[in-house]
Amino acid sequence: MKALIQRVTYARVTVDKETISEINSGLLLLLGVEKTDGPATAAKLCRKVINYRVFPDDQGRMNRSLVDTGYSLLVVPQFTLAADTRSGTRPGFSVAAPQDHAEKLFHEFLLASEQALGRGCVGRGQFGADMKVALENDGPVTFLLEVEGAAAQA
């Protein structure tokens, strides 16, 4: 499972010209799900994201997390993050999770995030929709976080 996180001053998701979710300060997270990912993978990645220290402390060092700051999280499903780009000039999607599996884990990730941060602190994109994502990257600060699924760890 992959999460591309960006520290933002605001972010919003629009579907059919209607804003469906938006946050102020926090993290925009693009979530990619692979075939080998399961509920434990989603839970582990969630813990990592909400505790990842990317916000400045009083000395300006990245030493504070979403949990520490009370900032928001906007989670957007991103099928293309699961692409294999190691060779050639066209992405391959053989490692990407099938739609029903990916959607289930997207919702499990959201539930774990809401339980940890509070429902009012977590926004969401719409699975399977053609979304427009607008943001103001703060820093810019961007990280790719990865957690291997159970089958990959065996």
- State yes or no: is 106 an active-site residue: no
Query: Which residues are CB-neighbours of 121 under 8 A, at least 6 positions away?
Result: 26, 66, 70, 71, 72, 73, 114
Which tokens belong to 77? 């499903």
Catalytic residue among 6, 14, 41, 78: 78
> Is 78 part of the annotated catalytic residue set?
yes
Catalytic residue among 19, 80, 115, 142: 80
Whether 80 is a known active-site residue: answer yes
Phi, psi at residue 127, to the nearest 5°? -60, 130
According to DSSP, the β-strands at 55-56 and 2-15 are: unpaired
Cα dihedral: 50, 55, 61, 64 (round 10): -40
Catalytic residues: 78-80
